[in-house]
Amino acid sequence: MIDFAALRKEFPILDQEVHGKPLVYLDNAATTQKPQAVIDAIVHYYGRINSNVHRGVHTLSQRATDAFEATRGKLQRLVNAEFEHEIIYTTGTTGSINLVAHGFRSLLSPGDEVVVSQLEHHSNLVPWQMLAQHTGATLRYIPILADGSLDLDEAQRLINPKTKLLAFNHISNALGTVNPVVKLTEWAHAVGACVVVDGAQGLPHRPVDVQAMGVDFYAGSAHKMYGPTGTGMLYGRTEWLEKLPPYQGGGEMISTVTMAQSTYAGLPFKFEAGTPNIEAVVGWGAALDWMNAIGMDSLMAHESDLMTYGTERLTAIDGLVLFGTAPEKSAVLSFGFADLHPYDLGTLLDQQGIAVRTGQHCAQPIMDYYNIPGTVRASFAAYSSREDVDRLADGVERALRMLR
C-alpha cells in the first residue's frame, strides 16, 4: 500500500501559504510539481556530471551521455516501444507534434485528408492546420457529444481512403475524457492512415503500451509527469521515423558534412539536432523512477477515488454544471455556473490559496461547442488528497456567497 499522505511531503513546494492560506494545488493538468528526488537529480547533474553528450571522450561527457541515454531506456520500457531508437527527445508534446506535422509536409498533397478531433488542445490542432495550409490537404474534425466524448459513429464515417493521418489525444486536458485509442487506431489503419496520439495527459494517468495500442506516434511531456519543463518525447514506429525527413538541421543529427551536402545520422539522432535539455532529461529519469515506485495501478486507484469524491462534492453545489461526464474520465473536473464567469471564481479561489485553471484550457473548439467563455478546471496528481477536494468545494461555496 502506498501512503499517499506521506508522499505529499516529498514535494517541498506544497509546504507553503498563498494569500495566508495553506496552498492547495489543483492545476496538475497544466503542470505537476516536482518531488525532491527530481530536484536532487538536477542539482546532482550540475554539481557532478554536467558535460555535453555524445561527444567528448572524457569521463564527464561519458557520464552525462549515460545519464541522458538511461532515460531513453526508461521511456522505452514505460511505453513498451519495440526499440530504444523509437524514443525521440523533443522540447515537449508540442515539439513532438510539430516534428511529425513538419515531416508530413513532403508526404501530403491536395485531396488528402487529415482527421483531428474537436476535443484537442491547440497544440494538436494548430500544427495540423498549418500542415493543411501548406500542402492543400483538407482538415476534418471528429465532433464531440454532450458528455465530452468523441462522436465515434461520425469518426467512423469521417475516416475514409483519402485519410492520410488521424490525430487525437489519449486524454482530454480540458474535460478528462479518455479516448478509445485502440478502436480509432484500427479504423485509421484499415484505410492506411498514420495515427498520431497526443499523450500529454495520457502518460501521467494511464498505462501506455504503444505496441498493444498499435499507434504510429505517441507524444508526451516530462513536466506533466513530475519531471522538469522544456523536455518531452516522441515515440515513433521505426518505419515512420525512417520515412519522415529530419525536422531541424544542426549538430548531433548528421553523419557526414561537406560543403556540398550532408548525410544524416540514424535514429534517434536524426531528429535531435543541437545540444538537448540534458538536465531536464536526467531529471525526467528520476521522475520516471519515482512514478514506477508508486506504480500506475496505485496511482489510478488513488486518482479514481479523488474523481468519485470530487464529483460527489462538486455536483452537490447548487447550480454547478460539470463539463465532461464521459464514462471513462481521468483526473480532471471541469465545471462552471450558468450565471458566473469562470474568471471570477478562479480569482476568489486563488484568494483562498486554491490554485485552479480558468478559461479555455487551450481548447477553444470545446468551449465553442458548449457555448461558454471557459470553465474552472481542478486536476489531480499523486499528492492530491480528499482534503484538497474539501478545500475546493468549500472555496467554491464561499465564492458563490460573495458573487451571487
Q: Which residues bind other proteins (CB under 8 A)?
A: 19, 340-341, 343-344, 347-348, 350-352, 358-359, 373-374, 402-403
Classify residue 15 by burial, with Cβ atoms within 10 Å: 0-12, 13-18, 19+: exposed
Dihedral sign, Cα of residue 253, residue 256, residue 260, residue 264: negative
What cell numbers appear for 44 in the block? 546532482
**Cβ(97)–Cβ(124) under 8 Å?**
yes
What cell numbers appear for 58 in the block? 572524457
Query: Cα 224 to the chain's mean position, in Å?
Result: 6
**Cβ(246)–Cβ(264) under 8 Å?**
yes
Residue 221 phi/psi, 5° resolution? -125, 140
Please indicate whether residue 362 is annotated as part of the active site.
yes
- Please choose, from the candidates 338, 361, 358, 339, the residue with its C-alpha nearest in 3D space to the C-alpha of residue 350: 358
Closer to other proteins by CB, 58 or 404: give it: 404
Closer to other proteins by CB, 130 or 317: give it: 317
* Least spacing, CB of residue 11 vs other proteins, in Å: 23
Closer to other proteins by CB, 206 or 377: give it: 377
* Least spacing, CB of residue 344 vs other proteins, in Å: 5
Please pick, among 362, 363, 378, 399, the residue that the annotation labels catalytic: 362
* Least spacing, CB of residue 345 vs other proteins, in Å: 9
d(C-alpha 69, C-alpha 13), whole Å? 29
What cell numbers appear for 251 in the block? 549538430
* Least spacing, CB of residue 374 vs other proteins, in Å: 8
Closer to other proteins by CB, 90 or 358: give it: 358
Closer to other proteins by CB, 69 or 350: give it: 350
**Cβ(272)–Cβ(254) under 8 Å?**
no
* Least spacing, CB of residue 347 vs other proteins, in Å: 6
Catalytic positions are 362
